[in-house]
Chain A
Amino acid sequence: MVRQCFIIFGCLALGELIVWLTGTSIPGSIIGMLLLTAFLQMKVVKLEWIKGMTDFLISNLGFFFVPPGVALMLYLDVIQAELLPITVATVGSTIVVLIVTGWTHQIFKKK
């Protein structure tokens, strides 16, 4: 448990450190994810050391979005005032991204 937390928070902390040092706009959590992948690949970290914790975090990923979602209540008036452009643009654009990405990948992927 302690080792699992140390590895995951260690990667996150290194990610934050890199953000602080370089001033990049890529968030520390994304850099931490890439670091964890690299450490696993280099066999510095063994998969079985962290599997329990990462399975727990990944299977509850959606739940962690509940509080940021509740922040919607602060913008109900802005959203109401521009309801049509906001909903049509987000829904329309999300559909465009889904299809365009999927098609491009399907066309170029090696058989």
Chain B
Amino acid sequence: MEILHNDIVLLALTFGTYFAARQCQKKTGWVIMNPILLTIALLILFLKVAGISYETYHKAGSYIDFWLKPAIVALGVPLYQNLSQIRKQFLPIFLSQLVGCVAGVVSVVLIAQALGASREVILSLAPKSVTTPIAMEVCQSMGGIPSLTAAIVVLVGLFGAVFGFKILEVWHVRNPYSQGLSLGTASHAVGTSRAMEKGQHYGAYASLGLILNGVLTALLTPFILKLII
């Protein structure tokens, strides 16, 4: 079955699986049928069964994740469109980011420590809320396992995208801007893409959360970890 190792075949399979997963969600309307989550699970299952290594898949996959960086640049557009609104709200935004950043790093480390996680895993979990490149960079500089961080980051993003709005509703966070901001802060670009589906102003605040928490996490995590580990 050499043909299955071909880049183009694997790319076609990835597009096809995602398309089918999206149709599935449209049909059922279940949030848990998140197309990203479903596609990842099906592809892993397929690669395991067909005996294809991650390295082989990655050669094809890199054509897709190459577009992550330009897509993050593109988030500058909703940010620009909401700039005047954001300027007026600068203090509440900055304060909530600061609190969110510290709460994210401290809570994940304390919970993992209490449940007996190894030091390497704790360091890999610490920057989990922010976008992959920042998270991997922070993890690397702290001595964690960067690719484990990358995987955890995607899981966190999916959790936020699938359950984020529900959780915020239950906890009485009803303001659309606060909701968007929280989603971007807690679950980076995956949460932002979910917020973007809900509406452009949710998305703009989510991009803001993604940026500010990313920058704060890059700057503050080393100090926070020194204090609590």
| Residues of A that sit less than 8 Å from B by CB | 8-9, 11-12, 15, 25-30, 32-37, 40-41, 47, 50-51, 53-54, 57-75, 78-79, 82, 84-86, 88-110
* Extra 13 A-B pairs, beta carbons < 8 Å, given A33-B74, A74-B54, A109-B92: A27-B133, A37-B80, A60-B67, A71-B151, A72-B44, A78-B148, A79-B151, A85-B112, A92-B108, A92-B111, A97-B107, A98-B167, A102-B181
Determine whether the beta carbon of B157 is less than 8 Å from that of A65.
Answer: yes
Least Cβ distance of B138 to chain A in Å? Answer: 7
> For chain B, what secondary structure do more than half of its interface residues adopt (helix, strand, loop), or is it mixed?
helix
Specify the chain B residue showing the minimal Cβ separation from A7. B73
Given contacts A57-B74, A58-B78, A71-B150, contact A95 B177 (CB under 8 A): no
Encode contact with A along B69-100: 1 for CB under 8 Å, 0 otherwise. Answer: 11111111111110100001101110111011
The A-contacting residues of B in range 145-200, CB under 8 angstroms, are 145, 147-148, 150-161, 164, 167-168, 171, 173, 175, 177-179, 181-183, 185-187, 189-190, 192-194, 196
Q: How far is the CA of A78 from the CA of B67 in the complex (A)?
A: 29
Determine whether the beta carbon of A47 is less than 8 Å from that of B77.
Answer: yes
Q: Which residues of B contact A35 (CB under 8 A)?
A: 76
Given contacts A34-B211, A82-B118, A94-B156, contact A71 B69 (CB under 8 A): no
Determine whether the beta carbon of B154 is less than 8 Å from that of A63.
Answer: no
| Residues of B that sit less than 8 Å from A by CB | 14, 18, 35-37, 39-40, 43-44, 47-48, 54, 57-58, 61-62, 64-65, 67-81, 83, 88-89, 91-93, 95-97, 99-100, 103-104, 107-109, 111-112, 115-118, 121, 125, 128-129, 131-134, 137-138, 141, 145, 147-148, 150-161, 164, 167-168, 171, 173, 175, 177-179, 181-183, 185-187, 189-190, 192-194, 196, 203, 207, 209, 211, 214-215, 218
> For chain A, what secondary structure do more than half of its interface residues adopt (helix, strand, loop), or is it mixed?
helix
A-B CB contacts (within 8 Å), total count: 321
Least Cβ distance of B36 to chain A in Å? Answer: 5
Given contacts A82-B117, A97-B104, A109-B89, contact A72 B154 (CB under 8 A): yes
Q: How far is the CA of A15 from the CA of B69 in the complex (A)?
A: 11
Determine whether the beta carbon of A100 is less than 8 Å from that of B77.
Answer: no
B72 touches which of A29, A40, A106 (Cβ 8 Å): A29
Q: Which residues of A contact B68 (CB under 8 A)?
A: 29, 64-65, 68
Specify the chain B residue showing the minimal Cβ separation from A106. B178
Q: Can you list 22 contacts pairing A with B, beta carbon distance less than 8 Å? A: A8-B73, A11-B73, A12-B69, A25-B218, A30-B131, A33-B79, A54-B76, A62-B194, A63-B35, A84-B115, A85-B115, A88-B111, A89-B115, A97-B129, A97-B186, A98-B171, A102-B181, A104-B99, A105-B95, A105-B96, A108-B95, A110-B88
Given contacts A73-B48, A109-B175, contact A11 B76 (CB under 8 A): yes
Least Cβ distance of B161 to chain A in Å? Answer: 7
